[in-house]
């Protein structure tokens, strides 16, 4: 068939199951946007290219596939840079497309060129692969290589640009190849390694399952649930793996923040780790809570990148490949010999349920402004059963780890990189990925919420079932706490406070959202319910106690152990 380069790019993405693109239209690629919409794609134009990247990353996390966003030449591509770095550190396979002026412009010896910079070299260290479609007939090989690199080994972003003189050239091409024809798909582990792993699992007395971010971004929850039930084990969440697998909610405990998780780790004689780097937030699997029992604990790690095996700690049985293929291998091998749960599991379940109930009971109450712990309790009690939870902010997220009463099946936040301002774009992207039907709740601090506040208009335009619950202390709460701990009470707190006249509910109303102001805890849940019932995206401005927000962060000492330089 005869197609133009921009149409071929869409065809190649469609072969991978991609049907959504984020970006701000520009003369470089309006033809691509126009055709994408004609072909039935979701074409989403946010208000900032960085938001486009975050939205694409959320789509990737919610679908288990690569996702696409685009930036116009020069400033548009520059605006993608923050999202590229996040995608790299969060291991999200996002394809960043960048427009560029014709190569003759780049090669001329001139000064003062408009909207021009040599782009590719600026991003090479922020992506797994950087390339340019210099000739029309390179289109297939470069797009395929980008997808191959993004989805192979540890997933991550790629950057592909096309000069303006190439994008509308004609190509004579066959039908696009299916993914399995040009990249490794569904890689299983060798039978010998699976047998070794099964032998260790059957011999273990107190095995645990350590579930990370990758289980959820690969959408492998159902298979992992079957494995956990066959093994009758507790599920320990990493800080990135905070989504709860349906059916495993009661036996799932957050590492470091739940006494049940700590006891299960300390008493374990085998850890089967899935979808995790074994990074700092789990003390590399060898520090802090892991020290006890280290000499007698065996490790099985499912890992897509063979070069990652043994980097952070020794591994007894590595299972190299796609966890979506390897977990079913283990399930098949263990199906005829299911384990019986140990008595400790029932005790840990009971203990963790009691912990959550006690937190709900003891979160400071009766204050106006509201204590941030109480905000989390009341907001998460009102979380819709089929909802998507999105987190953003510093102190607000730390309160959320401890006090959340919800067990969402999908949680999205920027855990590895810690980039603030991702919450609202993540919420928009997640909703788009799920067909704009499932309710989304964003719980955010006020400072982080304002990074990308313009995307409230995007949410209104798309009519998304999204409610943002914003903890407002008119400050960078986490940083205020750092000032106090560093210099003492009453010290100067430079650059961390902002106007107490700002009303985010009124700002939201200006964008066409439902807005409501709350300064009493008993009004939080009713306000959230009214926002969902309004049929509009909603923003609940919750006034929180600034002193409590900066001084009473729960589990802060545990959080700081993630940064124990030189001790792990």
Measured from the Cβ of residue 284, the count of other Cβ atoms closer than 10 Å reads 16
Q: Quick one: pLDDT at residue 567? A: 59
Cβ burial of 490 (10 Å; 0-12, 13-18, 19+) is exposed
Can you tell me the distance from the alpha carbon of 192 to that of 197, in angstroms, rounded to the nearest whole number?
A: 9
- 557 has pLDDT over 90: no
Interval 439-460 mean pLDDT = 98
Contacts of 357 (CB under 8 A, 6+ apart): none
What does the pLDDT read at residue 568? Answer: 59
The pLDDT, as a whole number, for residue 485 is 86
Question: 30-34, 66-70, 466-470 — which is least confidently predicted?
Answer: 30-34
Task: Provide φ and ψ at 440, rounded to 5°.
Answer: -120, 135
Is pLDDT at 207 greater than 90 in this prediction? Answer: yes
Does this model's pTM top 0.95? yes
Of all residues in the chain, what percent are helix, strand and coil, respectively (each to 5)?
45, 15, 40
CA–CA separation, 543 and 541 (whole Å): 6
Residue 353: DSSP 8-state: H
* pLDDT tens digits, 129-153: 999 999 999 999 999 999 999 999 9
For residue 106, what is the enclosing H or E element? helix 103-107
Which tokens in the block code for residue 66?
A: 């690569």
Residue 22 vs residue 26, higher pLDDT? 22
Question: What pLDDT does residue 121 have?
Answer: 86
Mean pLDDT of the chain: 95
For residue 58 the two structure tokens come to 């959320």
Q: What pLDDT, on a 0 to 100 scale, did the predictor assign at position 566?
A: 64
Confirm if 366 and 267 have CB atoms less than 8 A apart: no
- Run of H or E residues at 374: helix 372-381
Other CB atoms within a 10 A radius of the CB of residue 324 amount to 21
- Is pLDDT at 343 greater than 90 in this prediction? yes
d(CA 36, CA 172): 20
pLDDT per position as a tens digit, 376-433: 999 999 999 999 999 999 999 999 989 999 999 999 999 999 999 999 999 999 999 9
| Interatomic CA distance for residues 228 and 219, integer angstroms | 16
Q: What are phi and psi of 234, to 5 degrees?
A: -75, 150
Interhelix angle for 5-14 vs 30-38, to 10°?
50
Yes or no: say if 140 and 3 are a contact pair by the CB < 8 Å rule.
no
DSSP string covering 183-226: S--SPPPPHHHHHHHHHHHHH-SSEEEEE-HHHHHTT-HHHHHH
Distance CA 212, CA 254 (A): 11
pLDDT for residue 116: 78
Burial of 280 (0-12, 13-18, 19+ CB in 10 A): middle
Q: Strands across the sheet with 466-472, in order?
A: 411-412, 388-392, 440-445, 466-472, 538-543, 514-518
Is residue 80 within 8 Å of 55, Cβ to Cβ?
A: no
Q: Which domains does the chain have, with CATH numbers?
A: 2-177 (3.40.50.970), 191-348 (3.40.50.1220), 363-559 (3.40.50.970)
Helix (H, G, I), strand (E, B) or coil at 163: strand
Which residues does residue 15 pair with via DSSP β-bridges, in sequence order? none
Q: Is the pLDDT of residue 101 over 80?
A: no
What token pair was written down for 32? 């691509």
Cis peptide before 369 (omega within 30 of 0): yes
Distance CA 39, CA 64 (A): 22
User: Hey, which bits of 352-449 come out as E strands?
Assistant: 388-392, 411-412, 440-445
Instruction: Identify the three-state secondary structure at position 100.
Output: strand
What average pLDDT does the segment 189-205 reach? 98
Predicted confidence at residue 366, as pLDDT, reads 96
The encoded tokens of residue 334 equal: 């263990």
pLDDT, residue 114, reads 77
* pLDDT score at 370: 98
CB burial of residue 549 (10 Å; 0-12, 13-18, 19+): buried
Q: Give the tens place of pLDDT for each residue, 234-280.
A: 999 999 999 999 999 999 999 999 999 999 999 999 999 999 999 99
Collapsed DSSP state (helix, strand, coil) of residue 19: coil
What's the mean pLDDT in 313-340? 98
Q: Is 459 exposed, middle or buried (0-12, 13-18, 19+ CB in 10 A)?
A: buried
Q: Give every CB contact of residue 299 below 8 A, 6+ residues apart in sequence.
A: 270, 271, 273, 285, 313, 314, 315, 316, 317
The answer on pLDDT for 565 being more than 70 is no
- Give the pLDDT confidence of 366-391 residue by residue, as tens digits: 999 999 999 999 999 999 999 999 99
Per-residue pLDDT band for 22 (boundaries 50, 70, 90) equals very high
Rounded Cα distance between 203 and 429, Å, is: 44
Q: Percent of the chain at pLDDT above 90?
A: 87
Sorted by sequence, the CB contacts under 8 Å of residue 79 that are 6+ apart come out as 48, 49, 50, 71
- Nearest alpha-carbon partner for 242 in 471, 411, 83, 51: 411
DSSP-derived 3-state class of residue 36 = helix
Kindly give, in sequence order, each residue whose CB lies less than 8 Å from that of residue 199, ignoring residues fewer than 6 positions away. none
Question: Above 90 in pLDDT, residue 547?
Answer: yes
Sheet holding 94-100, edge to edge: 42-44, 20-22, 67-71, 94-100, 158-163, 129-132
> Which pLDDT belongs to residue 383?
98
Cα radius of gyration rounded to whole Å, the chain: 24
């Amino acid at each position: 068939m005869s197609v133009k380069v921009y149409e071929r790019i869409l065809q190649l993405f469609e072969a991978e199951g991609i049907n959504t693109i984020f970006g701000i239209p520009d003369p470089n690629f309006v033809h691509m946007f126009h055709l994408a919409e004609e072909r039935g794609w979701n074409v989403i134009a946010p208000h900032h290219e960085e938001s486009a990247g975050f939205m694409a990353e959320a789509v990737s996390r919610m679908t288990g596939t690569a996702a696409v966003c685009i930036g116009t030449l020069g400033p548009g591509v520059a605006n993608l840079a923050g999202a590229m770095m996040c995608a790299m550190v969060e291991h999200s396979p996002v394809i960043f497309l960048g427009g560029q002026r014709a190569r003759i412009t780049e090669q001329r010896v001139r000064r003062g060129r408009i909207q021009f910079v040599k782009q590719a070299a600026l991003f090479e260290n922020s992506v797994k692969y950087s390339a340019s479609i210099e000739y029309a007939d390179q289109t297939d090989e470069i797009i395929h290589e980008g997808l191959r690199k993004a989805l192979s080994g540890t997933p991550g972003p790629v950057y592909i640009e096309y000069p303006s003189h190439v994008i509308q050239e004609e190509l004579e091409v066959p039908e696009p190849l299916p993914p399995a024809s040009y990249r490794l798909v569904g890689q299983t582990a060798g039978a010998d390694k699976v047998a070794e792993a099964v032998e260790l699992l059957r011999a273990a007395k107190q095995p645990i399952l350590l579930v990370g971010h990758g289980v959820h971004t690969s959408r492998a929850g159902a298979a992992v649930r079957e494995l956990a039930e066959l093994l009758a084990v507790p599920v320990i969440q990493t800080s990135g793996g905070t989504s709860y697998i349906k059916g495993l909610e009661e036996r799932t405990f957050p590492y470091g923040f739940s006494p049940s998780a700590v006891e299960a780790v300390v008493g374990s004689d085998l850890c089967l780790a899935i979808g995790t780097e074994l990074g700092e937030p789990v003390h590399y699997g060898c520090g802090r809570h892991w020290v006890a029992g280290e000499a007698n604990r065996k490790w099985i790690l499912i890992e897509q990148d063979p070069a990652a095996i043994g980097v952070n700690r020794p591994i007894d049985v590595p299972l190299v490949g796609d966890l979506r293929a390897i977990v079913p291998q283990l399930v098949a091998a263990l199906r005829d010999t299911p384990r019986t749960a140990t008595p400790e599991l029932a005790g840990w379940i009971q203990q963790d349920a009691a912990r959550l109930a006690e937190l709900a009971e003891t979160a400071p109450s009766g204050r106006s402004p509201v204590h941030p712990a109480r905000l989390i309790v009341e907001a998460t009690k009102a979380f819709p059963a089929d909802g998507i939870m999105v987190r953003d902010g510093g102190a607000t997220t730390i309160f959320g780890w401890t006090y959340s009463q919800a067990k969402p099946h999908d949680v999205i936040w920027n855990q590895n990189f810690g980039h603030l301002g991702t919450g609202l774009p993540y919420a928009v992207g997640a909703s788009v990925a799920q067909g704009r039907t499932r309710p989304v709740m964003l719980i955010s601090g006020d400072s982080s919420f304002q990074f990308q506040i313009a995307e409230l208009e995007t949410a209104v335009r798309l009519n998304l079932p999204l409610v943002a619950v914003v903890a407002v202390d008119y400050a960078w709460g986490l940083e205020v706490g750092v000032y106090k701990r560093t210099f003492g009470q009453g010290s100067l707190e430079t650059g961390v406070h902002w106007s107490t006249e700002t009303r985010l509910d009124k700002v939201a109303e200006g964008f066409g959202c439902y807005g409501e102001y709350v300064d009493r805890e008993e009004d939080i849940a009713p306000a959230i319910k009214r926002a969902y019932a309004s049929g509009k995206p909603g923003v609940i401005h919750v006034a929180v106690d600034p002193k409590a927000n900066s001084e009473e962060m729960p589990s802060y000492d545990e959080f700081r152990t993630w940064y124990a330089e030189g001790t792990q």
